[in-house]
């Protein structure tokens, strides 16, 4: 090629006709071949703004070029971009496009296998392209990548299998998860599982794992619903005792009652007393809101008082998003505010209301708590049994009083 030595930069290549650029792609030096790829890619999209770039395209533009080449079925150029671009980010992005093209059958699977064989970035990019529509060869690649030496690749493979979502793929992901020996890797994998499939799915995957493994995850995951935390706790008293100290885990009344009857009074007594008191207070608040809705013209003072009562009630029963909800309601028209407040309070009451299956436990629970209250000196009747030493919390007196009130309500006396 007579002008090869005259091509010293991307701008030189842009001045060549397309046949000459393709010849340069075949016979030029490595930098010249890269410039040829960029030039031909830019020329495939004549009506796009990127086709009029007069200077060397930056990595962001070159990543866009990968999509353009795939759209125009310029697969040879796409592969060349994925293999030779000087930017690792561009190569990875292009390889993700290659994987999607191969998944559609336009490129042979071996192209993808060869590309990821010794390129970690390319493997991660391909794994990121795998989902529930991917063909078997990509799912097999994800399974094999669980055994990669690089933990980042393993985690990407885990996510890929969860996105595939078949029973077989999820079983492979679970087998990997419960076999992890490193605590930090276990936490990272669990957090990714939660992001893809949710808290409950992650907890179900770990339900049969050793208590030490479940404990690592329980201690690191935040804002767990009880449905997930209960699976992680299992029948381990130590894990249940930890859960009782966590304000970000909403534990229902029956579970708290069960903890107390198992001797785990610390934390459980205070929380159950608050919940039983809160259930009664919530019903009173709900009646007040409904009375205001039925009133001809609620006064601004009534509206403010109801919002203040709802704020205190929500804080009492540990509703985490109550502040945002009430702030939004306060900006509404009075009628809309009251209807919205009724909906919010009804939802909060339902979340902490005493379930019917707790009623049979109340006599046994009272029998457990009353002797402790009766024996306690006056200055110890409010001894902290809450989340930490030295913190004042409701104790046996409040819980016994709440139980008595529920027993009276259940019998109509």
pLDDT tens-digit map of 330-372: 888 888 999 999 999 998 887 766 667 777 888 898 888 887 7
The DSSP string of 299-317 is -HHHHHHHHHHHHHHHHHT
SS3 213: helix
CA dihedral for 15, 17, 18, 22, sign (positive or negative): negative
SS3 191: helix
Q: Confidence band (pLDDT; 50, 70, 90) for 213?
A: very high
Q: What is the mean pLDDT of the chain?
A: 82
Q: Which of 109, 102, 160, 152 is nearest to 131 (CA)?
A: 160
What is the tens place of the pLDDT at every residue in 49-93?
334 444 456 777 777 778 877 877 878 878 887 887 878 888 888
What is the tens place of the pLDDT at every residue in 138-158?
999 999 999 999 999 999 999
pLDDT surpassing 50 at residue 271: yes
Instruction: Give the Cα separation of 38 and 66 in Å (integer).
Output: 10
Q: What share of the chain is helix, strand, coil (3-state, %, to 5)?
A: 75, 0, 25
What is the model's pTM? Answer: 0.68
Instruction: Give the Cα separation of 296 and 54 in Å (integer).
Output: 72
What is the tens place of the pLDDT at every residue in 196-212?
999 999 999 999 999 99
| Residue 409 confidence (pLDDT) | 61
Of 259 and 27, the one with more pLDDT: 259
Tokens of 196: 């893809």
Of 388 and 60, the one with more pLDDT: 60
CA dihedral for 380, 385, 389, 394, sign (positive or negative): negative
Q: Confidence band (pLDDT; 50, 70, 90) for 392?
A: very low
Q: Which of 171, 89, 91, 164 is nearest to 132 (CA)?
A: 164
Q: For tokens 């804002």, name the residue.
A: 223
pLDDT surpassing 80 at residue 45: no
| Residue 148 confidence (pLDDT) | 95
Of 396 and 32, the one with more pLDDT: 396
105: left (phi over 0), alpha (psi -120 to 50) or beta: left
| Residue 180 confidence (pLDDT) | 96
| Residue 252 confidence (pLDDT) | 83
């Amino acid at each position: 090629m007579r002008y090869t030595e005259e091509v010293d930069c991307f701008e030189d290549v842009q001045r060549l006709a397309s046949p000459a650029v393709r010849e340069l792609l075949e016979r030029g030096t490595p930098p010249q071949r890269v410039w040829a790829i960029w030039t031909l890619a830019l020329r495939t999209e004549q009506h796009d703004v990127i086709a009029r770039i007069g200077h060397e395209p930056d990595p962001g533009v070159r990543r866009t070029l990968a999509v353009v080449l795939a759209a125009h079925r310029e697969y040879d150029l796409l592969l060349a971009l994925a293999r030779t671009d000087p930017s690792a980010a561009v190569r990875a992005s292009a390889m993700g496009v290659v994987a999607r093209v191969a998944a559609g059958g336009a490129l042979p699977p071996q192209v993808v296998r060869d590309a990821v064989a010794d390129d970690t970035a390319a493997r991660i990019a391909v794994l990121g392209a795998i989902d529930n529509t991917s063909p078997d060869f990509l799912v097999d690649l994800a399974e094999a990548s669980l055994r990669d030496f690089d933990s980042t690749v393993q985690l990407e493979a885990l996510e890929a299998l969860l996105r595939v979502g078949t029973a077989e793929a999820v079983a492979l992901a679970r087998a990997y998860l419960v076999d992890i020996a490193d605590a930090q890797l276990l936490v990272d994998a669990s957090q990714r599982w939660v992001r893809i499939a949710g808290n409950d799915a992650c907890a179900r995957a770990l339900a049969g794992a050793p208590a030490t493994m479940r404990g690592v995850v329980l201690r690191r995951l935040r804002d767990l619903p009880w449905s997930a935390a209960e699976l992680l706790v299992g029948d381990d008293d130590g894990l249940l005792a930890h859960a009782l100290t966590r304000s970000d885990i909403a534990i229902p009344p029956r579970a708290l009652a069960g903890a107390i009857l198992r001797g785990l009074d610390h934390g459980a007594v205070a929380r159950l007393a608050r919940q039983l008191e809160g259930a009664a207070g919530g019903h009173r608040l709900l009646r007040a809101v409904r009375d205001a809705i039925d009133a001809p013209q609620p006064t601004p003072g009534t509206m403010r008082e109801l919002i203040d009562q709802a704020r205190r009630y929500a804080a009492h029963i540990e509703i985490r998003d109550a502040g945002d909800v009430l702030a939004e309601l306060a900006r509404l028209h009075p009628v809309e505010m009251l209807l919205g407040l009724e909906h919010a309070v009804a939802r909060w009451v339902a979340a902490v209301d005493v379930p019917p299956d707790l009623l049979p436990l109340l006599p046994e629970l009272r029998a457990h708590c009353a002797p402790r209250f009766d024996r306690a000196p006056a200055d110890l009747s409010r001894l902290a049994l809450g989340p930490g030493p030295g913190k004042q919390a409701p104790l046996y007196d409040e819980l016994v009083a709440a139980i008595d009130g529920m027993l009276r309500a259940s019998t109509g006396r």
